[in-house]
Amino acid sequence: MTSPINGAVEAAVRSVMADRAVGTDAPAVAAALAGLYDVLARHLEPLMGTLAVRAIYGRSLHLTTEEVPWIAAAGAVVQAGAGQADALRACLEQQDPSAATEGARVLLVAFVDLLARLIGEGLTTRLMAQAWPRAFPEGAGQKAMR
């Protein structure tokens, strides 16, 4: 069963892909999907700190490699000094668009699942609704805090 948080990640992925009309252009798909992570990370950094967001990303990346082995390359690029979103984009560009979309979805689900374990599902949902408003029905982020 898909949790509301996982459903929101899937909705965000669908929304960004539809909004950008990226089609089958690998660089456009990669940029759109990495942009989802970047928007969420930038939203979280003032609240949690850059190191905490990086740690959650690193753990999410590790967990994702069990299901999506090729995504480990994004971690290697980060270790070489690139930013996380840039590294993710570069890794996704090397895949066909459907594989890139699935890999990014799995990574984002792992990220928000870890975030929810850390700060709670209600606050995670609220923060996701603020970062990705098109992925949530009107007012869903506020209802999660009640």
Q: What is the 3-state secondary structure (H, E, C) of 53-69?
A: HHHHHHHHHHHHCCCCH
- Residue pLDDT tens, the chain, 146 long: 457 777 878 888 877 777 655 566 788 888 888 888 999 999 999 999 999 999 999 999 999 999 999 998 887 756 555 688 888 998 999 999 889 888 998 999 999 999 999 999 999 999 999 998 888 776 554 444 44
pLDDT the model gives residue 82: 61
The angle at the Cα of 26, spanning 22 to 29, to the nearest 5 degrees, equals 40
Q: State the burial class of residue 58 (Cβ atoms within 10 Å of its Cβ: 0-12, 13-18, 19+).
A: middle
- Per-residue confidence (pLDDT) for residue 135, from 0 to 100: 81
What pLDDT, on a 0 to 100 scale, did the predictor assign at position 141?
Answer: 47
Q: What is the per-residue pLDDT for 21? A: 56
Considering only CA atoms, which of 112, 108, 124 is closest in space to residue 32?
108
Q: What is the pTM of this model?
A: 0.84
Question: How is the chain split into domains, by residue range?
Answer: 4-144
Location of structure tokens 């090397």:
94
